Chains A and B, each alone.
Chain A
Amino acid sequence: MGATWRFALLLCMVLMLSRSLANEDTGLNAGTTSSPGHQTDSGHGTGEEDSSHGESGHEGEPITTLPIVSWKWHHVSTPYIVVLWILVSWLCKIVIESNHHVTNIIPESALLICFGFVLGGIIWGYSMPNKLFFSNMGAILIYAVIGTCWNAASLGLSLWGCHMGGAMGDLDIGLLQYLLFGSLIAAVDPVAVIAVFEQVHVNEVLFILVFGESLLNDGVTVVLFNVFDAFVSLGGPQIDAVEIIKGIISFFVVAFGGSLRHQKHPDHRAWLRLVLGYLSYLTAEMLSLSAILSIVFCGMCCQKYINTNMDERSVTTVRYVMKVLANGSETIIFVFLGISAIDKTIWVWNTGFILLTLFFIFIYRFIGVFVLTWILNRYRLVRVEFIDQLIMSYGGLRGAVAYGLATMLDEAKIKEKNLMVCTSLIVVYFTVILQGITMKPLVNWLKVKRAAVTDITLVEKLQNKVFDHMLVAIEDISGQIGHNYMRDKWNHFEEKWMSRILMKPSARKSRDYVFNVFHQLNLKDAMSYVEEGERRGSLEFIRNETAIIDFKKKFADDFSEVMPDITADTSDDHGAMSPMRRDPVPSISLDMARADHDAAPVKGQEAAPPQIQPESTSTQTR
């Protein structure tokens, strides 16, 4: 999972580097046309171009609106692999070239910003459990929006207060600039979170809360950052500020309005509206935002279709490529952060500022999380436990986004830019290194509930299906609309239209989870049956010549066309099955010539092949 994350880092780094190279040639005032050479991946490239244009536009010009980029992602799914390979070959070329431009600040910062962006989408597509995400969406949004705003505001104000109190000596920073600084340092970074939590394996709910928050709060961060940056630029005249304030207010209205409605009428359409409203607001106003969120959501949509449309080998290839590149990109991003510290010209040290920042970040994170969780627990069915809250607070790692935003500050307007850059670096180091290292021991020590590793049984899967349908039916009968109803309608719509358009029939069949589990179970059964038979020295079915043929035939006919597709969903540890998959039984049966009638296999396994011996043993499973 972390693998795919880091791969996306690399992806965006590649794009940004190449984009910055192009910028070098054409100057910073790049027009809205995308830079040349980025057209390999239509949606992907254009999305990034627009967002990066947003970056450069942001520096000197008023905020321009972005044409909606999210819808272009639907083209990505099929040429996905092609794109990946092209980017890989690009990477090599560009990394070599980029060494000339490392010291140039613009590409670095834009690069770092983009880490955060493309991060979400691809990774999310492959690893995010959508259902869990959506059912915790409310909590995640609250943490992301309110939590981040709280962090930013409280930090900015506290620092300003300390400044007024003289704790920092002689600094030329005003209130607005403190708020600006607060906003850029407030956001929890998804990369860092992934890197740390990946090792730790906490329970899914906790993970999804922290992770979802870190993804969505990038949006909030950039909103706040832009707002305060504009404030700082204008120096406070009312005219444009009013617009911005209106923007903030509408932002909050969207956020709160949705949740207020939700309390009164637990109609989950309210949540949908909230999310859509949030999305559309951000899309309309904030360029750089739309990239991450659209990517995120398109990643979620594309996930299913990508996996099932590609055949097994392609999917495996993709995964391996991602793993390989992931290692590279993780190294790159953090080494990069380390390297940037060496640049002596930017080092400014102010003990008070730095220490106070660290202190306040820590404290306010805890306060924010605990207060919000307390509020949330009143409305959640499954409470967020105290220990989980602790981990959530402790897991508020800052990362590259903070550093990137800091470097984007305009030196002319913000005299103490270097100080801010340094502080953000130190904060990143502190949180990533210290908190990262101590996270695992802390989790162990606190005995945080871990992710369940047991496989869910076939019966449970079937039961889940029963639940889904049953709850929808009861909701219909009782006339109460709930999210089961919504989900069912969506599934139905999806079954009817989108699947037909986007997926091959065999892929559709294999997509059914129960079928998947059943198939895996079958294979497992077959294997264990054979092993058991090996162990005991006899295989019941070899007495019946026709049975062997049935087995092969049955598998070949019924499952062959979906077998390659099915293993697309299996994780790596099922790779052990693949050598057996094609030819499991007959090769072993040839060795087991002895028909030892007494050592019949255990009942549970003997009944495993009702498929194998449909006639003779079916009575025994009655």
Chain B
Amino acid sequence: MGACQTRAEHQYQDLADKTGFSFEQIKNLYQRFQQLSGNEETISRANLDSMPALANNPIRKQIIGAFFDKRNQHQDEVGSCDQIGFEQFLMVMSHFRPPNLRTTDEEKEAMRKEKLRFLFNMHDSDNDGTITLAEYRKVVEELMSKSGEIGQETAKAIADAAMLEVASINVPNMGPEEFYEGITFEHFEEILKGLEMESRMHIRFLDVDTSTMRCGKSQS
């Protein structure tokens, strides 16, 4: 028992260094991981797909895909995997850490880039480094799909208009023969620089054990 604990702590230390979470947070997330995986070592897509809470979410496919996307593991690999372990789970979660009062400006900048990269990967499903119109259309269609009233045609048109906007902002003087390949990461950064990514794209990771405190929320 003692040996297991120290091994776990050692592991946690490793993870804490890599992802920036605290021990408490890692413990909580590990418990959650166990719940999701059914006490297995890895989570598969099916595990996440079957979560009822996600059923209403229009972009669940992209989000679930993001967990299995190797690019989000920051190890310069591409492609996707079928099962992820706890470490990969944590890595993806670490994109959503909020900045605290102690983060320096460079760290904030790095965090921002990371978050942007995450978003970009979510849009760019074929890994070619640009978000083409077709890919963007897909995302927008999914996004609008649960809104009910907005049909597919309109969603397509919205995607077109958005692409256009990006094009006109980033490449304002395109000639008539050129066409806009797609949104590169730099363009993506440029167009979203108005959004305060650090303060918007985060969730609170709790330090206390909440598994006993929730009532009525489904656990799976």
Quick one: closest B residue to A605, CB to CB? B168
Q: Are B54 and A477 in contact (CB under 8 A)?
A: yes
- Distance between Cα atoms of A472 and B202 in the complex (Å): 10
Q: Given that A473-B54, A474-B93 are contacting pairs, would A508 and B174 also be in contact in the complex, using a CB cutoff of 8 Å?
A: no
Q: Which residues of A contact B35 (CB under 8 A)?
A: 479
Q: Which residues of A contact B174 (CB under 8 A)?
A: 602-604
Q: Are B166 and A459 in contact (CB under 8 A)?
A: yes
Q: Are A266 and B206 in contact (CB under 8 A)?
A: yes
- Distance between Cα atoms of A472 and B63 in the complex (Å): 10
Chain A 465-496, CB-CB to B under 8 Å as 1, else 0, gives 11101111111111111101000000010010
Q: Which residues of A contact B204 (CB under 8 A)?
A: 266, 480, 482
Q: B210: CB under 8 A from chain A? A: yes
Q: Are A265 and B201 in contact (CB under 8 A)?
A: no
Q: Given that A477-B54, A482-B204 are contacting pairs, would A600 and B153 also be in contact in the complex, using a CB cutoff of 8 Å?
A: no
Q: B91: CB under 8 A from chain A? A: no
Residues of B at the A interface (CB closer than 8 Å) are 28-29, 32, 35-36, 48, 51, 53-54, 56-60, 63, 67, 93, 96, 98-99, 119, 122, 132-134, 139-140, 143-144, 147-150, 153-154, 157-158, 160-169, 172-176, 178-180, 191-192, 194-195, 199-206, 208, 210-211, 213-214, 217, 219
Chain A 506-528, CB-CB to B under 8 Å as 1, else 0, gives 00110010110010011001000
Quick one: closest B residue to A476, CB to CB? B53
Q: Which residues of B contact A591 (CB under 8 A)?
A: none
Q: Which residues of A contact B60 (CB under 8 A)?
A: 473
> Which of B59, B63, B166, B173 contacts A602 (CB under 8 A)?
B173
Beyond A458-B158, A607-B167, 18 additional pairs, beta carbon < 8 A: A457-B165, A458-B161, A460-B191, A460-B194, A463-B119, A464-B195, A474-B63, A476-B53, A476-B57, A478-B205, A482-B204, A508-B149, A509-B150, A514-B144, A525-B161, A558-B154, A602-B174, A620-B179
Q: Are B54 and A474 in contact (CB under 8 A)?
A: no
Q: A608: CB under 8 A from chain B? A: yes
Q: A505: CB under 8 A from chain B? A: yes
Q: Which residues of A contact B67 (CB under 8 A)?
A: 477
How many whole Å from B144's CB to the nearest CB in chain A?
7
Q: A610: CB under 8 A from chain B? A: yes
Q: A81: CB under 8 A from chain B? A: no
> Which of B56, B119, B161 contacts A466 (CB under 8 A)?
B119
When A and B form their complex, which 10 residue pairs have the shortest distance between CB atoms, in order from nearest? A509-B149, A603-B174, A604-B168, A476-B53, A479-B32, A473-B63, A518-B158, A620-B179, A600-B176, A458-B162
Q: A381: CB under 8 A from chain B? A: yes
Q: Are B192 and A481 in contact (CB under 8 A)?
A: no
Residues of chain A from 432 to 478 with CB closer than 8 A to chain B in the complex:
454, 456-460, 462-467, 469-478
Q: A345: CB under 8 A from chain B? A: no
Q: Are A477 and B158 in contact (CB under 8 A)?
A: no
Residues of A at the B interface (CB closer than 8 Å) are 264-267, 381-382, 454, 456-460, 462-467, 469-482, 484, 492, 495, 505, 508-509, 512, 514-515, 518, 521-522, 525, 558, 600-604, 606-608, 610-611, 619-622
> Which of B32, B57, B180, B211 contacts A621 (CB under 8 A)?
B180
Q: Given that A463-B119, A466-B119, A622-B132 are contacting pairs, would A478 and B93 also be in contact in the complex, using a CB cutoff of 8 Å?
A: yes
> Which of B143, B153, B200, B203 contacts A462 (CB under 8 A)?
B143
Q: Which residues of A contact B143 (CB under 8 A)?
A: 462, 465-466, 469
How many whole Å from A507's CB to the nearest CB in chain B?
10
Q: Are B195 and A521 in contact (CB under 8 A)?
A: no
Quick one: closest A residue to B132, CB to CB? A622
Q: Which residues of B contact A608 (CB under 8 A)?
A: 164
Q: Given that A471-B201, A604-B168 are contacting pairs, would A478 and B53 also be in contact in the complex, using a CB cutoff of 8 Å?
A: no
- Distance between Cα atoms of A381 and B199 in the complex (Å): 7
Q: List 9 A-B contacts (CB under 8 A).
A: A457-B169, A477-B67, A478-B29, A482-B204, A514-B144, A515-B150, A603-B178, A608-B164, A621-B180
Q: Are B179 and A512 in contact (CB under 8 A)?
A: no
> Which of A381, A462, A522, A604 contacts B172 (CB under 8 A)?
A604
How many whole Å from B64's CB to the nearest CB in chain A?
8
Total A-B pairs in contact (CB under 8 Å)? 172
Q: Are A610 and B160 in contact (CB under 8 A)?
A: yes
Q: Which residues of A contact B210 (CB under 8 A)?
A: 265, 479-481
Q: Are B157 and A610 in contact (CB under 8 A)?
A: yes
Q: Which residues of A contact B213 (CB under 8 A)?
A: 265, 267
Q: Which residues of B contact A518 (CB under 8 A)?
A: 154, 157-158, 161-162
- Distance between Cα atoms of A277 and B51 in the complex (Å): 33
Q: Are A467 and B158 in contact (CB under 8 A)?
A: no
Interface of A is mostly: helix
- Distance between Cα atoms of A463 and B139 in the complex (Å): 11
Q: Are B203 and A475 in contact (CB under 8 A)?
A: yes
Q: Are B167 and A477 in contact (CB under 8 A)?
A: no
How many whole Å from A601's CB to the nearest CB in chain B?
8
- Distance between Cα atoms of A400 and B143 in the complex (Å): 48
Quick one: closest A residue to B198, CB to CB? A381
> Which of B58, B96, B191 contacts A474 (CB under 8 A)?
B96
How many whole Å from A613's CB to the nearest CB in chain B?
12
Q: Which residues of A contact B48 (CB under 8 A)?
A: 477
- Distance between Cα atoms of A467 and B147 in the complex (Å): 15
How many whole Å from B156's CB to the nearest CB in chain A?
9
Q: Are A512 and B147 in contact (CB under 8 A)?
A: yes
How many whole Å from B56's CB to the nearest CB in chain A?
6
- Distance between Cα atoms of A619 and B132 in the complex (Å): 12
Q: Which residues of A contact B147 (CB under 8 A)?
A: 512
How many whole Å from A466's CB to the nearest CB in chain B?
6
Quick one: closest B residue to A607, CB to CB? B164
Q: Which residues of B contact A481 (CB under 8 A)?
A: 210, 214, 217
Q: Are B57 and A460 in contact (CB under 8 A)?
A: no
How many whole Å from B102's CB to the nearest CB in chain A?
13
- Distance between Cα atoms of A492 and B146 in the complex (Å): 10
- Distance between Cα atoms of A343 and B176 in the complex (Å): 76
Of A472, A521, A608, most buried by chain B (CB within 10 Å of CB) is A472
- Distance between Cα atoms of A557 and B138 in the complex (Å): 24
Q: Given that A265-B213, A469-B59 are contacting pairs, would A474 and B150 also be in contact in the complex, using a CB cutoff of 8 Å?
A: no
Quick one: closest A residue to B95, CB to CB? A474
How many whole Å from B210's CB to the nearest CB in chain A?
7
- Distance between Cα atoms of A106 and B140 in the complex (Å): 60
Q: Which residues of A contact B93 (CB under 8 A)?
A: 474, 478
Quick one: closest A residue to B179, CB to CB? A620
